[in-house]
Structure 1
Amino acid sequence: MFNREFYVNFAHTFGHVDKNFHVDAFIDDVTRDMDTLSLNGRLRNTSLVLKRHLPEDYKRAIAILYAAAPSLPTGYTALVLPDYVALYGKQHFDLSMEALQYFTTLGSAEFAIREFLKTDLIKTLDVMHKWADDSNVHVRRLASEGSRPRLPWSFKLAEIIKQPTLTQGILEKLNADEALYVRKSVANHLNDHAKDNASYMLNLVNSWDKTNKHTSWIIKHAIRSLIKRGDKDALKIFGFEHETSVKLHSLTTDKTSLQLGDSLHFNFGLGSESKQAQKLVVDYAIHYVKASGSRTKKVYKLKEVTLAPGQTLQFNKKQQFQDLTTRKHYAGAHLLEILVNGKVMGCIEFELRA
């Protein structure tokens, strides 16, 4: 994304809005060691080089960023704009907050805002509470995403982990948001809380209106990790049974040995041994072999069902084994488990060959 073509267009955009911006000098400067830098390294380097080519005065520099922004590509490369604010705007709080509110609509300011949370948590959260009422979906999403306790690719917000109520007002304003983009963020924010403050999170969502379809969607996604672990209080929120009377029938796989790129097909039945209907979450887990030879467990959602008294349901699933950016596979004995409401009902081993 941050290649020479991008920087040529980027520089000419700034040259168009600021006659004192030296286009060729900027291009030479920003691309000099480009090949040695990672994606995020190039993003940060762009901000650092911009500082050398924009006016020293922060207010004048921000005015140029505002003028250039509408002509720049949106998406990940637009994170340069809030990154500049995070690096150089801490002494100009109000101006920087206004800039992040605008620049987040072009990419996202979720990482930049955390630098201000780290410097002055309460003052920044006060602004973010107001953003939760904003008419722009990107700004509302920033209120939730930027204040997540454990945002991926960023540092933890230890004070919010210690005192989760600090972001409660933001989440309650957004707990029925019509935008899926916002709802996903709220659910992930709550799921972060579940890792450190599960009781607090469950009490909070249990007080919300679950009859609202948007709120219900958020809660289900927020408690997904606890459901997979069979947490009694999480299961109770949507009426899933903690103690089940279910028997696993005939767990089979189409092969006991496969190669990278193959798919594993597996089948099983679940039979009721209860005189009452049972509301179940059926999942499966793969215990993947790590580089060290040990195994790590990954739980996948399969289906939510209501099992009638005496009923047996059949399940069929295909799992592909292919290297991804988020997972590299290693040869060895893997394990497949079937889970019902977080409890292991049975397992079967299979081999992944080199």
Structure 2
Amino acid sequence: MPSAQPVHLFNFKLWVTKRTSHNKQLTFMGLLKDIYSETFYRSLAGSLAEVLPDFDKTLFLKKTCIPDFCKMELKQRMRHTTNVIHEFLSADFPIAASQLKALIVQLKKDGIGGELVFIFLPDYIECHGLEHFEASVEAIEFVTQFISCEFAVRPFLLKYGQRMIKQMEIWSLHENHKVRRLATEGCRPRLPWAMALPELKKDPTPILPILENLKNDPSDFVRKSVANNLNDISKDHPQVVLGIAALWKGISKETDAIIKHGCRTLLKQGHPDILAHYTLDSSAVEWSNFQVLSPEVAIGKHLEFSFHVKNTSKKAQIIRLEYALYYKRLNGQPSKKVFKISEKSYLANEGVLVKRKQSFKIITTRKFYPGPHQLSVIVNGSEKELKTFVLTEAE
């Protein structure tokens, strides 16, 4: 199996940095699942041996490095690690939780940080601690300071409801910023790749005191999570977020930034109330000479387009420029995605020519289908003329 190396995530793969015998760094891209490897398990076994009496390293490696391991994907490898660890920890979850905490202490002594590979630690709590609320809450609070537990808290929200929400409200006042971030990130109604929380999606009211506690948090890490939570809520309850935007406006530049980031979906949708909130009015903006400069684009290449925009007002005003791509889906129907160009102040009668490129480089998160696609420009939330271009097979 491949050796484990420090990782930086990118599009479901990882950038791996490896030192050569001459102490130079080489960077290449490998599969994310390969953060779990025989090298990693040998390192983990060394730390476990310091924590667990009579720990059998040979047996641990035999159970982790099974013949089918190479066929497993990332989440399968994570759960496999959880299951193997469970065989070596106490069957009594509160004791096992204390062993996990001791392991983290040992890992830190061994100079090992909370890289993504340690997601099996919160997974263990999720799998084996659900019937032990107090012990799990204590363990989550400790573990999330090493590796984030935002996914692990969600089964507890489903099972314990308001009791768990109250705990997360307590966490929102914690001294450690990683615990405070867990308070908001873990209860996001639409957290990507996470277990759904239908009750909070239906009614986000229980989340709001947590966000209120964190709106002035000193950590940008936490404030960004607050904004992402608001953005999630806006997709189902725009008026709730618009109300918060009105209440928080002008409190500080940090809260203003939270509101702006939290309302990004509403802005992309051109919601009239959020446009009014930011005084984005298209009536005094002249838009002209929209051209698709590459009417045929091969997959792997760039679409190029341009247009002219002018502030026709007698005073300066903010102009927000975006464009929308209508991607062709497998069924032939369009899928709209909005991209921001800029948002800045234009002087009275100031006009500019805007040129942009849009990449159709093959990526893991979107499948491109040859055929007609459409493009539009959006000025202060107002979508303008649609233009058609053709996407062709890769050259």
State the 1:244 CA deviation.
2.1
Q: Report if the CA contact (8 A) 1:244-1:278 is conserved.
A: no
- Does 2:299 match 1:255? no
1:190 equivalent in structure 2: 230
Q: Deviations over 1:178-233 (max 9, x none)?
A: 32211221111001111111111110221014241110111001111111111111
> Contact conserved, 2:155 with 2:195, CA < 8 A, in 1?
no
Query: Any conservation in 1 of the 2:280–2:381 contact (CA below 8 Å)?
Result: no
Q: Measure, in 1, the Cα distance between the counterparts of 2:125 and 2:263.
A: 35
Number of the residue aligned with 1:302:
341
How many pairs were matched up?
Answer: 353
User: Which residue of structure 2 lines up, in the alignment, with residue 108 of structure 1?
Assistant: 148
Give the % identical residues.
34
Is 323-332 or 139-148 further displaced after alignment?
A: 323-332
Contact 2:311 2:351 in 1 (8 A): yes
Q: Is the 8 A contact 1:264 1:319 kept in 2?
A: yes
The answer on whether the counterparts of 2:82 and 2:124 sit within 8 Å (CA) in structure 1 is: yes
User: How far apart, CA to CA, are the structure 1 residues paired with 2:123 and 2:240?
Assistant: 33
Query: Which one is further off, 45-54 or 301-310?
Result: 301-310
Task: Pick one of 279, 291, 294 that aligns with 2:330.
Answer: 291
User: Are the counterparts in 1 of residues 151 and 195 from structure 2 also a CA contact under 8 Å?
Assistant: no
Q: What code does the residue aligned with 2:76 have? A: G
Runs of 4+ in structure 1 over 4 Å off: 273-277
Distance 1:272 1:238 in 2: 16
Would you say 1:280 and 2:344 are equivalent positions? Answer: no
On the 8 A contact 2:275/2:381 being kept in 1, the answer is no
> How far 1:116 moved relative to its partner?
0.8
Letter matched to residue 50 of structure 2? H
In 2, Cα distance between equivalents of 1:240 and 1:255: 30
Q: Deviations over 1:93-134 (max 9, x none)?
A: 222111111111212100001111111011111111111111
Listed as ranges, the gaps of 5+ residues in structure 2 are 1-34
Pairwise CA RMSD: 1.8
**Any unmatched runs of 5+ in structure 1?**
none
Matched, 1:152 2:192: yes
Deviations 1:138-175 (A, max 9, x none): 11110000011111111221221222110111101111
Task: Report the alpha carbon displacement of residue 276 of structure 1 after superposing the two structures with TM.
Answer: 5.4
- Partner amino acid for 2:288? H
Task: Say whether the 8 Å CA contact 1:264–1:320 is kept in structure 2.
Answer: yes
Q: 1:73: how far off?
A: 4.4
The answer for the alignment partner of 1:37 in structure 2 is 72
Q: Distance in 1 between matches of 2:91 and 2:344?
A: 62
1:24 maps onto 2:33 in alignment: no
Task: Report the AA paired with residue 170 of structure 1.
Answer: I
More moved, 212-221 vs 263-272? 263-272
Query: TM-score when scaled to structure 1?
Result: 0.94
**Residue in 2 aligned with 1:329?**
368
* 1:18-167 alignment runs, 5 A limit: 18-32=52-66, 33-70=68-105, 71=107, 72-167=112-207
Q: Could you list the per-position Cα deviations for residues 24-75 of structure 1 after superposition, in whole angstroms to 9, with x for gaps in the alignment?
A: 2122212223223210111112112211221212222222211111315412
Tell me which residue corresponds to 2:21: none
What CA distance in whole angstroms lies between the structure 2 residues aligned with 1:205 and 1:48?
45
Out of 322, 336, 354, the residue aligned to residue 315 of structure 1 is 354
TM-score by length of 2: 0.85
Please state whether the residue corresponding to 1:207 is helix, strand or coil: helix
Q: C-alpha separation between the residues in 2 aligned to 1:209 and 1:274?
A: 26
Question: 2:283 & 2:80 partners in 1: Cα distance?
Answer: 56
